[in-house]
Structure 1
């Protein structure tokens, strides 16, 4: 029986309105970037995931984070133009309002996403980056440093999925089993006060995805 992406990630989102939702980017060659909110192992409904209205204004950029791309809302995704064929990234800390988690602690979520594996560098706070251009081996970085033991879920073009544990150096190797789009996902919980959605939270769940097309 196929295990849903939601079931694999639910332990990080107990009692959370965010559930197991992810934000990810799909891009074909030099075409526009398509930003989705949902469960990547499932087919995106034509009208969008029920939580799609919560995805309002992700900051997508190519090269310079200070120059976000203009966004166009479509039926089930948000579209952004991007020049050339380089990697694109986004961050969004305003998808779901903070919620009270276990023990009454206020929690919040910050999403990051990247499409492409041409650049062997990390720009986002939490990012999965190839060890070299177009490599099948990656490093999970938190604030620019490898995150040892990170739990990474891989969803391939056939929607097959499996979880891997990063090495002490934050590395993982992705088995390329079939041509098509791959999605990698990782989450990292950080304790400590910060403001999200106008409210002070005591724990922040950082969630990051990477997509690329294997040939």
Structure 2
């Protein structure tokens, strides 16, 4: 945790926003569970302290779905298939006037579809594959760090290759998660106003049977 916060300070990104991700978990065809927190850490009793800031993530496959607030996650009934959501209003922009920064989160659960539907997303190279391509607006994102989190919370740092691909080192049954980030400099518009830097963080979770 201390290393994550130090890295965030070096990167100039809000430490809270940097240390947190939004991710989705789903068991079979059950409801989707949307989390805000630190997926490599054990969930605090009562949920992550910042969880209240996750209010209305946009679900692509069920935009009208009712979000039910549980302890530590939001729950929604969604159609069968991979689940995707995004949220650009979790944390308010930070920094000095004219140099403000903000973060937008993208999340996916499942690997049954070898296609992208989010602006920044992990996509299995074939349905059900352990190999993924990181794409931004449909184009591969090469030489980018990926954090791989195993079911026991052990983490590994991976790097996408020249084709934006990375092999997930799946070794046992359970739920796995990967996350990556991009930093876009330039004028951007957010619900809270204009910013000079937009950080994009994406996650995917999948279950190995």
Q: Same fold (TM over 0.5)?
A: yes
Q: Name 2:73's counterpart in structure 1.
A: 77
Say whether residues 1:98 and 2:93 are aligned partners. yes
Structure 1 segments, 4+ long, off by >6 Å, are none
Return the alpha-carbon distance in structure 1 between the equivalents of residues 155 and 42 of structure 2: 14
Cα distance per residue 1:72-117 (max 9 Å; x no partner): 1112110010123x1000010000000017x972100000000000
* Partner secondary structure for residue 178 of structure 2: strand
CA 1:164–1:4: 2 relative to 1, 3 Å: farther
Cα distance per residue 1:4-53 (max 9 Å; x no partner): 78359635454444141000000000110000000001121231101001
Paired residue total:
208
1:68, distance to aligned residue in structure 2 (A): 4.2
Say whether residues 1:147 and 2:147 are aligned partners. no
* Partner secondary structure for residue 96 of structure 1: coil
Say whether residues 1:119 and 2:113 are aligned partners. yes
TM-score by length of 1: 0.90
Return the alpha-carbon distance in structure 2 between the equivalents of residues 13 and 58 of structure 1: 25
Aligned counterparts, 1:199-214, within 5 A: 199-214=193-208
**Cα RMSD between the aligned structures?**
2.0
Q: Name 1:39's counterpart in structure 2.
A: 38
Cα distance per residue 1:125-147 (max 9 Å; x no partner): 10001000100000000011101
User: Structure 1: any 5+ residue segments left out of the alignment?
Assistant: none
* Partner secondary structure for residue 18 of structure 1: helix
1:192, distance to aligned residue in structure 2 (A): 1.1
Query: In structure 2, which of residues 186, 191, 199 is the aligned counterpart of residue 197 of structure 1?
Result: 191
Query: In structure 2, which of residues 141, 156, 160 is the aligned counterpart of residue 162 of structure 1?
Result: 156
1:197, distance to aligned residue in structure 2 (A): 3.2
Aligned counterparts, 1:124-135, within 5 A: 124-135=118-129
* Partner secondary structure for residue 52 of structure 2: helix
CA 1:60–1:13: 2 relative to 1, 3 Å: farther
- Report which stretch shifted further, 188-197 or 165-174: 188-197
- Report which stretch shifted further, 9-18 or 136-145: 9-18
* Partner secondary structure for residue 153 of structure 1: strand
